[in-house]
Structure 1
Amino acid sequence: MLSAYGHSWVYGTGARQHSEGFVELATRELGIRLDNQAESGSLSTETARLVVARPPRPADVFVLMTGFNDARLHGANPDGRRRYAEALEIILHALHKAEPQAVLLAIEQPYVEDYSGHPPYDKASDAIVDEYNAILRTAVEHFPPGARTVPVKGWDATTMLADDNVHPNDRGHSVLADCLVDAITRSAR
């Protein structure tokens, strides 16, 4: 089973149909069950509260994608980055505790074309997204070999975003699914 946590991208927002979201696509391709615990609009702190209130069930693979809404809301604010790092520690520990032998994949956030829409979630930039991805990589490095970050190779913000310029369209979800399938397949070797 694959258990997924995070924001609206993990939930499947932006795809024409929810069933075409990237974790749905990946689990269908791999023939494994999905437990999607993602919540649209969630911050990392909300995901941390979720895994404390409802501890994760054991799974073969955990997928986490969080931090985009944090970056968009807090921008360069150091307190926002600190809260993100603290939330990641809580989330990663909860996932590891649920199944210490599981593969734990944290997907790095790709860029969008324009961060200025959707106030107050309008404070990010490519550089700030890079900072949040660096925090994610640092947090994941403290976990066993089964934990790693997954960069989204082949991402093109000009063609892979829905009209809202915040969520991936079907093409974006397809690229995310390919990256996830590749990461899971490599982890199984």
Structure 2
Amino acid sequence: MSHRVLGAYGHSWVFGTGARQHSEGFAGLAARQLGLRLNNHAASGSLSTETARLVMAQTPEPADMFVLMTGFNDARLYGTAPEGRRQYEDSLEILLRALHKADPQAVMLAIEQPHIEDYSGHPPYDRATDAIVDQYNAILRAVVAPFHFARTVVVDGWDSATMLADDNVHPNDSGHAELARALVRAVHDTGHQAARPRKDDVR
């Protein structure tokens, strides 16, 4: 039977930080629009390595859809250091394989990280730039490309001047709404209809 679940993994943006209520974060908004129940495993401040360790230690529950957004804290902590990029690439491989194993029928969407206005706050997480974030997004696209069940999502309508909370790190309500719109559009583009019974549904 279809699980009617959106499983979400990643950093504080996925958790819902910056929204007036965590339930109004983009993962929750998208889940409700798609008729799915949110199973949110995101953790504020998490690195991609920590998210990878989570799925290795705790087998993900089956889901109709998995959403992954990670690497922002890696970029902010490691900056240009090759070590950070290697760890990010390795972690993405682990995450994609673990989530696919948990539910081979699930659609998997990995969100590219939008830019923020100023990366200089919150040391030691102050080493990123737009260019570094773009490099991490390029790694994400390269790792996802061979996996036929996954695709990346670009938040085309993102505006860092108006969509960031006062801390200049997390999306405000407008930012979360835009992230949710991008996610829902991506689902429709894949032709995956979350509310449609899957092949293994009980009739």
TM-score, structure 1 length as denominator? 0.98
Which structure 1 residue ranges, 5 or more long, are not aligned?
Answer: none
| Alignment-mate amino acid for residue 116 of structure 2 | V
Q: Which of 156, 169, 172 is the equivalent residue of 1:169?
A: 172
Distance in 1, matches of 2:84 and 2:31, equals 32
Which residue is equivalent to 2:16? Answer: 12
Distance in 1, matches of 2:38 and 2:24, equals 13
- What does 1:117-136 correspond to in 2, within 5 Å? 117-136=121-140
Which structure 2 residue ranges, 5 or more long, are not aligned?
Answer: 194-203
Q: Which of 85, 88, 99 is the equivalent residue of 1:84?
A: 88
Distance in 1, matches of 2:169 and 2:71, equals 13
Which residue is equivalent to 2:201? Answer: none
Which residue is equivalent to 1:158? Answer: 161
Q: Deviations over 1:51-84 (max 9, x none)?
A: 0000111111000000000000000001110011
What secondary structure is seen at the aligned counterpart in 1 of 2:87? helix
Distance in 2, matches of 1:111 and 1:78, equals 20
1:86, CA displacement in angstroms? 0.6
Distance in 2, matches of 1:55 and 1:137, equals 25
Q: State the number of aligned residues.
A: 188
Q: Which of 175, 184, 188 is the equivalent residue of 2:187?
A: 184
Moved over 6 A (4+): none
Bigger CA radius of gyration: 2
- What does 1:74-113 correspond to in 2, within 5 Å? 74-113=78-117
**172-181 or 93-102, which moves further after superposition?**
93-102
- What does 1:139-158 correspond to in 2, within 5 Å? 139-144=143-148, 146-158=149-161
Aligned CA RMSD, in angstroms, stands at: 0.8
Which residue is equivalent to 2:197? Answer: none
Which residue is equivalent to 1:137? Answer: 141
1:173, CA displacement in angstroms? 0.2
TM-score, structure 2 length as denominator? 0.91
Distance in 2, matches of 1:80 and 1:128, equals 11
| Alignment-mate amino acid for residue 37 of structure 2 | R
Distance in 2, matches of 1:100 and 1:31, equals 20
1:140, CA displacement in angstroms? 0.5
1:22, CA displacement in angstroms? 0.2
| Alignment-mate amino acid for residue 153 of structure 1 | D
Q: Deviations over 1:110-162 (max 9, x none)?
A: 00000000000000000000000000001111212x31000011100000000
Distance in 2, matches of 1:30 and 1:86, equals 31
1:37, CA displacement in angstroms? 0.6
> How many percent of aligned residue pairs carry the same amino acid?
71
| Alignment-mate amino acid for residue 127 of structure 1 | A
